[in-house]
Amino acid sequence: MRCKLLLCPRPSEVQPREGEATGRKGPDTKIAINPCRPSLPMLKVYLSVPMIANRALERAKLMAKAIGDSGHEVTSPWVLGPIERSGHASVNVFERDTRGAETCDCLVADVSEPSIGVGMEIMAAYNAGRRIVLVMKRGSVTSRMLLHMDRKETVEYDDDSEVYSGLRRIL
């Protein structure tokens, strides 16, 4: 069994991940320890950032560093590398990203600039009852759907240098 911090109001609707223990204790019970905050479990965090238009790779790297330095695991490392090229042999991005957003413990999304993909990942995580943290530049135009969404936490910043400390505080 994996130690999990459940932060959604409808825990009965959250489905365990494939292969995840269902709450029975036994000799194979495992607990993830967060080395940075021993009293808190290590979270699997899906980092959602614009990839095609409005890409801010340095901000994405700052966000990933804050997640890692908080003792959590980034489950979407491909957002920190080169943009994937389309093709017959390429990965099914829709399935990979939807599954990643639905099965994470927490989704951290950069919504400073518009992105259809980020919006889809947020909706997948929201519908799965996952914890959602929105990172946005103060004063930027942000979707009203996101602003009016319940069950979200926000980190606002004026300068990219504030993103790291803001995420560290909330995670």
CA distance 110 to 46: 11
Q: How many Å apart are CA 96 and CA 83, to the nearest integer? A: 15
- Per-residue model confidence (pLDDT) at position 89: 62
Q: Provide the whole-model pTM.
A: 0.77
Quick check: 110 and 157 in contact, CB under 8 A? no
Catalogue the E-assigned strands of 93-165.
106-110, 131-137, 153-157
Phi-psi region of 139 (alpha: psi -120 to 50; beta: other; left: phi over 0): left
Give me the pLDDT at residue 84, please.
73
Model pLDDT, residue 83: 82
Q: Tell me the CATH number for domain 11-170.
A: 3.40.50.450
Domain definitions of the chain by residue range: 11-170
Q: What is the pLDDT along the chain (171 residues), one digit of tens a residue?
A: 333 333 444 333 444 445 544 444 444 444 555 555 556 689 999 999 999 888 999 999 999 999 999 999 999 999 998 887 766 667 899 999 999 999 999 999 999 999 999 999 999 999 999 999 999 999 999 999 999 999 999 999 999 999 999 999 999
SS (H, E, C) 27-54: CCCCCCCCCCCCCCCCCEEEEECCCCCC
